[in-house]
Structure 1
Amino acid sequence: MLNLQFKETSSPLSFTPPKDIKTSIMTVPSNFGSQVIALVLSNFGSQVIALQMLSNGVQLQIQDRQVVLDNGLLQVMLSSPEGIITGIRYAGIDNLLEVPNDESNRGYWDLVWNAPGSSTGIFDVIKGTSFKVIVETDDLVEVSFTRTWDPSLEGKLVPLNIDKRFVMLRGSSGFYSYAIYEHSKDCPGFSLGETRIAFKLRKDKFHYMAMADNRQRNMPFPEDRLPPRGQALAYPEAVLLVDPVEPELKGEVDDKYQYSCNNKDNKVHGWICATPPVGFWMITPSNEFKTGGPLKQNLTSHVGPTTLSVFLSSHYAGEDLTPKFQAGEEWKKVFGPVFIHVNSLFEGLDPLLLWEEAKLQMMVEVAVWPYDFVASEEFPTSDQRGSVSGRLLVHDWYISEDPVAASGAYLGLAPPGEAGSWQRECKGYQFWTKVDDEGYFSINNARAGGYNLYGFIPGFIGDYKHDTLLSITAGSDVDIGDLVYKPPRDGPTLWEIGIPDRSAAEFYVPDPNPKYINKLYLDHPDRFRQYGLWERYADLYPDGDLVYMVGVSDYSKEWFYAQVTRNKDGKYQGTTWQIKFTLESIELSENYKLWIAIASATLAELQVRINNVKGRPVFSTGMIGRDNTIARHGIHGLYWLYGVDVKGDMLVRGENTIFLTQPRSTSPFQGIMYDYIRLEGPPLTAS
């Protein structure tokens, strides 16, 4: 735990540490209790031993075509009235952003939208047409750049009123940004495919990317991705480095999707410059404004060097997570704030300490969310929000006679809908938490409004939904008491394959083709992020398909992570997997139940047949999914659960076979990732 010892001073930080002590600098925002800079001694258990007050106030300089925010630690230059971040001056570096780029291609908000009936997305770097000072004091400056839609812009610009805000605090080593999007009753319909804030950093300085303790590395240069240094692979994002600037990267694959991250884990990521030791970090203290819930995956940082905060996208989900607005539909949403944090070290210290400090700063930002300094009335402060608490139990009668604590479950407030609708919800706000070991939970700082409480529990299939609509008001603290989730079950388990956790990570992930590796993911828990793994299926099964023997096979070694197509002589083929199992007896007049949980699907279909591969399917999903997870190195996308009734007379005493066919086969990326499969016997009369 951080030990904060305050020492106030009116002078800037001036501290020369002993040579055997490693230090870094952490800034703490004013609403944490003081405007301070902290020295973090990493080799003393991250103990903060000195905090020194900065006297510099925030200054705002308004020029003809530029606005400058300056708090003595850094300067941020914004074009006016566009609100494009053209420069960030910090730690003796005149501009952290890529100066050769056009000013509109350095730091900016952007979006992709579609007019009704159009399949072609329109990319739009959001440029304001009006500038306004919202707050200007020594402690804080907030500025606004707005763009208002009118009918003359129809078909040219996205039909939204957009207000981009930037905030700088005294003593803060960074700045905040958020935006308010509004679709008014005068606006035509459209769909919004993506929106984000992006930064293009100096490629001559920022070479090291970090997004997790075990996901960080020296990255290729942008020119390494272009011919002749780079060779394009199956899609534009994936490039083989054949002659990179840094020879040690030769033979690796670079693909921005290899650095995707679940929302729940995506709180801080960024880049490190070694000389001078400077870090640039994107900190996202809350996911309340992101779509798709805690398991939605988004891009983070990639070759550029580029760093992003993606608020809304269809990646790993497809059209299901693209909000569609009708003409005149009224909608308003605040995206952010996010914190763009910069830090630096004394020369000669290990630059990786910048990553350690960035994680500490992230924890500070999370602790003080929701920020109390945001000026817009559209962003409610903590006292304008409410909370929900209670306890979640789970009762699966086959596993336990009594309900047990739903340890490890995720619970969230999201707009009203059916069970599981939260993963496709894309217009409102969501507030998620993880249940503790005893099943207790508290969801704090939820915006006022009406919500359903949703959840999912690793180890159990299906989606939880509390039937009562919850009304959150300012200051409310709703104790919902004990809740019990009864996961789907008809009868006793006869056999199961996998772990019901909405992921295919537990299945067999093959070694990559040696020609297409990313060294970061060798001997890594995320080995599924290697390029080209889908091609390994044909290597392992050139003629026949996978056959799994219940009670004999090991799913971690023999169940391929995705049921993909097979490339046979340049043509793609559908595949049929077999599950073989033995039954000692059959109840011919009873129904058995086959549960199939799917972790991802891409333009796929699952057909189920019992003991007759050529017969009519017992069940078919029809075409499902546009996750594109196979190509984008994910291990899950949207979750699907199917319960298939199997009549007893379809089964035989002795060996039985379930055939799982995925027939659609026009590309290598069509397929299914299974989460979990279970066959249940007939219901027990005692149950």
Structure 2
Amino acid sequence: MAKLSCRSLVACCMGPPRAAVDAMDGVKLKVTNRYVLIKNDIFELTLSNPDGMVTGVRYNGVDNLMEILNKEDNRGYWDIVWNPPGERTGIFDVIKGTDFRIIYHDENQAEVSFTRSWDPSLEGKAVPLIIDKRFIVLRGSSGFYTYGIYEHKEGWPDFGIGETRVAFKLRNDKFHYMAMADNRQRIMPMPDDRLPPRGRQLAYPEAVLLVDPINPKLKGEVDDKYQYSCEDQYNNVHGWISSDPPIGFWQITPSDEFRTGGPLKQNLTSHVGPTMLAMFLSAHYAGDDLSPKFTNGEYWKKVHGPVFMYLNSSQDASDPSLLWEDAKVQMMMEKESWPYDFALSEDFQKTEQRGCISGRLLVRDRYIIDGEDLYATSAYVGLALPGEAGSWQRECKGYQFWCRADEDGSFYIKNIVAGNYNLYAWVPGFIGDYKFDATLTISSGDDIYLGDLVYEPPRDGPTMWEIGIPDRSAAEFYVPDPNPNYVNRLFINHPDRFRQYGLWERYAELYPDRDLVYTIGESDYSTDWFYAQVTRRTDQNTYQPTTWQIRFNLDSVSPNSNYKFRVALASSANAELQVRFNDQDRVVPHFTTGLIGRDNAIARHGIHGLYWLFNIAVSSAWLVGGMNTIYLKQPRNQSPFQGIMYDYLRLEGPCGC
């Protein structure tokens, strides 16, 4: 019989929970000159005083689950990457507290604070923020919570943030199995496997070929932390499992409200170390657009977290799925408990301080159904700081609250922090972004019903042809098999096959002499449209621009009319899209995006970055009766990672065709 944490629903089927007998004893807190120790009868947490670093976690007979070979400030810590105005290079700063306080302690709960303040003497030396790191241990709880309150006072220096997170580095002599989804878990390489001569760096430092790994079964695989990235909407629980003894150490994020960039934003999770991350803000898969800049001395305050570090154990070392399944159950329990009523900062609003909003979203497109609105089935509906339609994906200072609409378009968003918001939405199957006209003020206890809302997606005329699915991803297009010399076996025959290393190089192998040509009515986008328009590598290790063609037949062209070419991009990495109609050699393209995007999704094994939509007016003079060709050129060619991913392309005829 397996033995799991007392808080698990699975435990009832797997034997008596560990803490069922011991939970009568309360939470104990001890403070010394160097350490703060908090324990219940399940585990013990040791924090450095006054730094607030996680130096030790004692659990299930193991003295310390953290990497004991690391220095104490390199085991469990909050960090931030920031930059003064005008400087692009970020400063990496492990956040060390200077002032320790006991916020609350009784037999049921302990909450402690490690605060780092700022004053003008630190200008240019430290990020101009007051940072209050909190840790919470509850009675009978198999794990601890942490959250942080960041405050920039009015009149303080300008600065920007590139990243902030909590990192945990676990013992590499014990934690070898990593799990982040039912189909994304495996035995992982050791840290030494990534270093010469056991590992060989590939095109960038994060990607390493395992030449002579300690575990010979991993030989020939590629390891790259970005292969384990995840969209925030699915990034709820991930972590590591030790086989001796069978222990799980998990990071659970019960809410996305404090993350930036909306539900599609991608972030790192766990990776070789063994390292486990709780990402709050990052520019990954977005670039500088998601690095907030604080200018003109603006005031800003935000709570990051709480997140939960969950510990569980089992008597069956042969089946790591037992601990993973239990961690998923615990994750659901944490979600149901949100917002936590035990977090004591007045800046973290409780349920009674928050509001709710509901309504129904419909879609109106007369070229699909004339005179009847469609249900916005499974639409993403959310609240974010006021801005333009679609601005939520670049929003990086406030809170966001999202849900998926029901089959009939009904939505309900609860536990919204009081404040001013716009309501945004996008609907899978339709291009563009919806925004509710009015700014919404959410106050404590509000339950606002908006009724029926109607989204009219961009549309000028009937669809003449289309390529792809408007879902903000390039996953439906052709994703090649990896080079056999650069495989991560986890992603063989996997839905996320795009996470293999080096797929960008396969384009030149498939199209060695000419670029992709797609013929409407003959080609199939799932096999004939490469997932990314990348540069072509030459024998001289230089890179050439690429020009793709879309060929289509028009029986006739409506004179003196405008057609519309809609191009939705799922990603752009230091790229440009130039569009020419029936004239490949035209010096000035009919349309260009200019240089756009820094999301780096091609190199980082993503199938999308930020979403772009371009609506191109097409003069009938550019078209001909018979066969037409649209030339799509990506001219930027300084690296193999410059390129774009398409989401969806559509040519519309003139209104009334």
- For 1:12, the equivalent position in structure 2 comes to none
Q: 2:637 aligns with which of 641, 650, 665?
A: 665
Rounded Cα–Cα distance in structure 2 between residues aligned with 1:232 and 1:259? 18
Question: Residue 146 and residue 676 in structure 1: after superposition, are their counterparts in 2 closer, same or farther (change >3 A)?
Answer: same
Rounded Cα–Cα distance in structure 1 between residues aligned with 2:292 and 2:531? 30
- For 2:437, the equivalent position in structure 1 comes to 467
Q: Is the 8 A contact 2:6 2:20 kept in 1?
A: no
Rounded Cα–Cα distance in structure 2 between residues aligned with 1:400 and 1:270? 47
- For 1:642, the equivalent position in structure 2 comes to 614
1:322 to partner: Cα distance: 0.4
Give secondary structure in 2 for the equivalent of 1:467.
coil
Q: Is the 8 A contact 2:355 2:446 kept in 1?
A: yes
- For 1:98, the equivalent position in structure 2 comes to 67
1:51 to partner: Cα distance: 7.0
1:97 to partner: Cα distance: 0.4
- For 1:608, the equivalent position in structure 2 comes to 579
- For 1:405, the equivalent position in structure 2 comes to 375
Question: Residue 53 and residue 470 in structure 1: after superposition, are their counterparts in 2 closer, same or farther (change >3 A)?
Answer: farther
- For 2:31, the equivalent position in structure 1 comes to 62
Q: 1:539 aligns with which of 493, 497, 509?
A: 509
Q: Is the 8 A contact 2:189 2:272 kept in 1?
A: yes
- 1:558 maps onto 2:528 in alignment: yes
Rounded Cα–Cα distance in structure 1 between residues aligned with 2:68 and 2:272? 16
Rounded Cα–Cα distance in structure 2 between residues aligned with 1:550 and 1:142? 63
Rounded Cα–Cα distance in structure 2 between residues aligned with 1:38 and 1:150? 50
Give secondary structure in 1 for the equivalent of 2:436.
strand
- 1:129 maps onto 2:98 in alignment: yes
- 1:249 maps onto 2:218 in alignment: yes
Rounded Cα–Cα distance in structure 2 between residues aligned with 1:432 and 1:347? 38
- For 1:652, the equivalent position in structure 2 comes to 624
Where in structure 1 do 4 or more consecutive aligned residues deviate above 4 Å?
A: 50-53
- For 2:469, the equivalent position in structure 1 comes to 499
Q: How does 1:617-628 map to 2 (within 5 A)?
A: 617-628=589-600
Q: Is the 8 A contact 2:482 2:503 kept in 1?
A: yes
Give secondary structure in 2 for the equivalent of 1:636.
coil
Q: Is the 8 A contact 2:22 2:41 kept in 1?
A: no
1:38 to partner: Cα distance: 6.8
Q: Which amino acid aligns with 1:145?
A: F
- For 1:528, the equivalent position in structure 2 comes to 498
Rounded Cα–Cα distance in structure 1 between residues aligned with 2:362 and 2:532? 32
Q: Is the 8 A contact 1:39 1:51 kept in 2?
A: no
Q: Is the 8 A contact 1:26 1:361 kept in 2?
A: no
1:347 to partner: Cα distance: 4.6
- 1:215 maps onto 2:195 in alignment: no
Q: Give per-residue Cα distances to partners, 1:446-485, cap 9 Å, x unaligned.
A: 0001110001111000001011111100000000001111
1:508 to partner: Cα distance: 0.2
- For 2:546, the equivalent position in structure 1 comes to 575
Give secondary structure in 1 for the equivalent of 2:487.
coil
- 1:599 maps onto 2:599 in alignment: no
Rounded Cα–Cα distance in structure 2 between residues aligned with 1:225 and 1:26? 37
Q: Which amino acid aligns with 1:651?
A: L
- For structure 1, the 5+ residue unaligned runs are 1-16, 29-36
Rounded Cα–Cα distance in structure 1 between residues aligned with 2:6 and 2:367? 51
Q: 2:419 aligns with which of 449, 454, 475?
A: 449
Rounded Cα–Cα distance in structure 2 between residues aligned with 1:349 and 1:531? 30
- 1:418 maps onto 2:393 in alignment: no
Q: Is the 8 A contact 2:563 2:617 kept in 1?
A: yes
Rounded Cα–Cα distance in structure 1 between residues aligned with 2:21 and 2:408? 41
Give secondary structure in 1 for the equivalent of 2:110.
strand
Q: 2:555 aligns with which of 578, 584, 588?
A: 584
Give secondary structure in 2 for the equivalent of 1:39.
helix
- For 2:306, the equivalent position in structure 1 comes to 337
Q: Give per-residue Cα distances to partners, 1:10-67, cap 9 Å, x unaligned.
A: xxxxxxx5xxxx5643517xxxxxxxx8724279xxx99x977820200001011100
Question: Residue 676 and residue 26 in structure 1: after superposition, are their counterparts in 2 closer, same or farther (change >3 A)?
Answer: farther
Rounded Cα–Cα distance in structure 1 between residues aligned with 2:551 and 2:407? 37
Rounded Cα–Cα distance in structure 2 between residues aligned with 1:272 and 1:175? 17
- For 2:7, the equivalent position in structure 1 comes to 27
- For 1:384, the equivalent position in structure 2 comes to 353
Query: When the two structures are superposed, what TM-score results if normalisation uses the length of structure 1?
Result: 0.94
Rounded Cα–Cα distance in structure 1 between residues aligned with 2:184 and 2:480? 20
Rounded Cα–Cα distance in structure 1 between residues aligned with 2:54 and 2:614? 48
Question: Residue 154 and residue 647 in structure 1: after superposition, are their counterparts in 2 closer, same or farther (change >3 A)?
Answer: same
Give secondary structure in 1 for the equivalent of 2:476.
coil
Rounded Cα–Cα distance in structure 1 between residues aligned with 2:88 and 2:24? 54
Q: Which amino acid aligns with 2:405?
A: V
1:350 to partner: Cα distance: 2.4
1:433 to partner: Cα distance: 0.4
1:329 to partner: Cα distance: 1.1
Rounded Cα–Cα distance in structure 2 between residues aligned with 1:231 and 1:547? 36
Q: 2:488 aligns with which of 497, 504, 518?
A: 518
Q: Is the 8 A contact 1:278 1:351 kept in 2?
A: no
Q: 1:277 aligns with which of 246, 268, 275?
A: 246
Give secondary structure in 2 for the equivalent of 1:27.
coil
Rounded Cα–Cα distance in structure 1 between residues aligned with 2:316 and 2:427? 48
Q: How does 1:260-299 map to 2 (within 5 A)?
A: 260-299=229-268
Q: Which amino acid aligns with 2:632?
A: L
- For structure 2, the 5+ residue unaligned runs are none
Q: Which amino acid aligns with 2:656?
A: L
- 1:197 maps onto 2:166 in alignment: yes
Rounded Cα–Cα distance in structure 2 between residues aligned with 1:605 and 1:588? 30
Rounded Cα–Cα distance in structure 2 between residues aligned with 1:630 and 1:349? 37
Q: Is the 8 A contact 1:408 1:434 kept in 2?
A: yes
Give secondary structure in 1 for the equivalent of 2:107.
coil
- 1:681 maps onto 2:648 in alignment: no
- For 2:340, the equivalent position in structure 1 comes to 371
1:327 to partner: Cα distance: 4.3
Give secondary structure in 1 for the equivalent of 2:38.
strand
Rounded Cα–Cα distance in structure 2 between residues aligned with 1:38 and 1:228? 44
Question: Residue 651 and residue 347 in structure 1: after superposition, are their counterparts in 2 closer, same or farther (change >3 A)?
Answer: closer
Query: When the two structures are superposed, what TM-score results if normalisation uses the length of structure 2?
Result: 0.98
Q: Is the 8 A contact 2:565 2:651 kept in 1?
A: yes
Give secondary structure in 2 for the equivalent of 1:116.
coil
CA RMSD in angstroms, aligned pairs only: 1.6
Q: Is the 8 A contact 1:146 1:164 kept in 2?
A: yes
- For 2:52, the equivalent position in structure 1 comes to 83
- 1:258 maps onto 2:248 in alignment: no
Query: How many percent of aligned residue pairs carry the same amino acid?
Result: 64
Q: Give per-residue Cα distances to partners, 1:384-428, cap 9 Å, x unaligned.
A: 000000111111111122111111110000000000000000000
Q: Which amino acid aligns with 1:364?
A: M
Q: Is the 8 A contact 1:460 1:501 kept in 2?
A: yes
Q: How does 1:35-184 map to 2 (within 5 A)?
A: 39-41=11-13, 54-184=23-153
- For 1:235, the equivalent position in structure 2 comes to 204
Question: Residue 53 and residue 61 in structure 1: after superposition, are their counterparts in 2 closer, same or farther (change >3 A)?
Answer: closer
- For 1:3, the equivalent position in structure 2 comes to none
Q: Is the 8 A contact 1:276 1:347 kept in 2?
A: no
Q: Is the 8 A contact 1:253 1:516 kept in 2?
A: yes
Stretch deviating more after TM superposition (99-108 or 565-574): 565-574
Q: Give per-residue Cα distances to partners, 1:486-541, cap 9 Å, x unaligned.
A: 10000000000000000000000011000100000000000000000000001011
